[in-house]
Amino acid sequence: MSPRRPLLTLAATLVAGASASFGYYLADDAHKPGYKDTPHLPGGKWRVHDADRPQPPVVAPGAKAGDAPSDAVVLFDGKDLSKWRGDHGDAAWDVADGAIVARRGAGSLISREEFGDCQLHIEWAAPNPPKGDDQGRGNSGVMFFGRYEIQVLDNYENPTYADGTAGAVYGQHPPLANALRPPGEWQSYDILFTAPRFKDDGSVETPAHVTVLVNGVAVQNHAEIFGAVAFRDLGRYSAHGPKGPLVLQDHGNPVRFRNIWVRPIGEES
Ligand code: MG
C-alpha cells in the first residue's frame, strides 16, 4: 500500500461528506435552485425548498414608504374622481389641492372597481382647526365591501367611545393604540383585508379579518370582523360575492383623502 493512501482516503471521505451536505451544487438541475427530496409541507403539494415551486411575481415597490407599488390599482393620484362614483351616479365630492374632500350631504364615495382580499393604502387629514367633538369631529370611514368599516375620526385629544376611534373596526374592536397625529396633519392607513367566505346556504364559512397600521403603528392584528358595521347594535353578516367596492363614508365632516391605492391579494402558489 502506498503510504499516501490514507491521506487520499481521508480526502475522499471529506469530499463525499461535503457532497452530502451541499448536494445541490452537484445536482443535474443545479441551475434550478431547490430540492426534490425534502419532506412535504402540510397540504402535500410542495416540499420544503421545493425546486419546482413557482417564483413569486416581481413587484417593484414604491420609491418611498406609502408610494404605490408597480402592481397597485391607483384609486386617487391627486387629480380626479374618475375611479369613483356616488350613491346616486357620479362622485359628488370635491378635489382641491391634490386631495379629495368629503362634501357634507353628498353621500358616500364608491370605488368603481371591486375588490376581494386586498391591501389598501390611504391617507387622510381632518379639518384644522378642529370643529365639533366626540363622533362629530373629522368623522369618515373606510368601508370594505361598503359594509366593514375601519373608522376615520379625529380623536386626537377628543375622547369618544373606544370602538369608535380611528383605526377601530367600528363598533367591534378598538385600535390597540391611538397613533393619531394632530388635526390638519396627514395620517396614513395601511390595511390588509381578508374577505369573508360564505357557504351555499348563505351562512358564514370564514369571517372577514383585518390588520391595520395607523401611521405605521399596528392597531389591528388579524382581527375577526363580526359582521357589517352597525350603530348601537351588533354587526351581522349577510352573504355577498367575493368582491365589493371600497367606500369612503360621508359623515358630514370635510375630511380630506389622498394617495389611495389597492393591491388585490392572491393566494400563494
Ligand atoms: Mg365613521
CATH assignment of the domain containing 102: 2.60.120.560
Q: Which amino acid is at 19?
A: S
**Is 28:35 a contact under the CB 8 Å cutoff?**
no
First to last CA, the chain: 57
C-alpha 25 to ligand 1 mean position (Å): 58
- Grid cell listed for 181: 397625529
The whole-number pLDDT of residue 10 equals: 44
* Inside any domain, residue 77: yes
The whole-number pLDDT of residue 83 equals: 97
Same domain, 137 and 240: yes
- Answer yes or no: is pLDDT of 45 > 50: yes
∠ Cα 6 10 15 (to 5°): 145
Q: Each residue of 218-227: pLDDT tens digit?
A: 999 999 999 9
The whole-number pLDDT of residue 15 equals: 43
- How far is 155 from 133, CA to CA, in rounded Å? 8
- Answer yes or no: is pLDDT of 79 > 70: yes
* Inside any domain, residue 238: yes
- Answer yes or no: is pLDDT of 179 > 90: yes
C-alpha 164 to ligand 1 mean position (Å): 8
* Inside any domain, residue 64: no
Across 234-259, average pLDDT: 97
C-alpha 251 to ligand 1 mean position (Å): 6
**Is 265:192 a contact under the CB 8 Å cutoff?**
yes
- How far is 179 from 190, CA to CA, in rounded Å? 13
C-alpha 149 to ligand 1 mean position (Å): 7
C-alpha 67 to ligand 1 mean position (Å): 25
C-alpha 263 to ligand 1 mean position (Å): 23
The whole-number pLDDT of residue 266 equals: 85
C-alpha 139 to ligand 1 mean position (Å): 5
Q: How crowded is residue 54: how many other Cβ atoms within 10 Å of its Cβ? A: 9
C-alpha 91 to ligand 1 mean position (Å): 19
Number of structural domains (the chain) is 2
The whole-number pLDDT of residue 24 equals: 46
Query: Which residues span the domain enclosing 20?
Result: 1-53
Same domain, 23 and 82: no
Give the predicted TM-score (pTM) of the model. 0.88
Per-residue confidence at 268, pLDDT binned at 50, 70, 90? confident
Per-residue confidence at 28, pLDDT binned at 50, 70, 90? low
C-alpha 215 to ligand 1 mean position (Å): 18
- Answer yes or no: is pLDDT of 118 > 50: yes
Q: Between these two residues, 237 and 26, which has the higher pLDDT value? A: 237
Q: How crowded is residue 43: how many other Cβ atoms within 10 Å of its Cβ? A: 6
Across 18-42, average pLDDT: 69
